[in-house]
Amino acid sequence: MPEAGLRMADVPEGTELLGDPAFPTLVCDGVVMLPGVPKFLRYQFDRFAGALGGAPFHLASVFLTGAEDEVAPLLAGIAAAHPSVDLGSYPRFDDADHSIKVTVESRELAAVLAALEALLRALPSTSVVRISRPDREQPEGRS
C-alpha cells in the first residue's frame, strides 16, 4: 500500500470499524467519524443512523431578504415564546437569492411547526424568499 494510504488508515487505539469497509465509519470513545465526501457520508450515515438512538431533530429553514439586525429582535421574541426550539441566524454576503437563513430546530416536530408559524406571522411577507418545512419534501416559495 502506498505511504499516503497507510497514513489515512491510522486510527486511535480502540477504534471500531462499522458499516461498509469501502467507506469506513469509525467509532472511538463515543465519537463517530464518517467519510468527508458528501456522497459517501450519506451512504454510511443512512446505514449507521439507526445505531445512534434517540429522537431525530426536525429542522425548518426560512430564507429572507433584508439585514440580520432587523430580524434579531423578532428572533429574540420567538425564542422567548418557544423555549423548546433552537433558532439560528446565518447571514450571507454573496449573490444568493437570500441574505439570511433562519433555522428553527427541535426534537419535537410540533414545537418546530409552532415556532415557524409564529416566525412567519412576525416577518414581513415580502422578506420571505422561501421556506423549507420538516413536514414537506419541497421548499415553498413565498414573495
Edge-to-edge strands of the sheet including 86-91? 86-91, 100-106, 58-64, 128-132, 140-141
User: d(Cα 99, Cα 92) in Å, to the nearest integer?
Assistant: 5
pLDDT band, very low/low/confident/very high, at 53 (cuts 50, 70, 90): confident
Portion of the chain with pLDDT greater than 70, in percent: 95
CATH architecture of 58-141: 2-Layer Sandwich (3.30)
- For the chain, the structural domain boundaries read 3-52, 58-141
Q: Does the pTM of the predicted model rise above 0.75?
A: no
Q: In this predicted model, what pLDDT tens digit does every residue of 92-112 receive, in sequence order?
A: 999 999 999 999 999 999 999
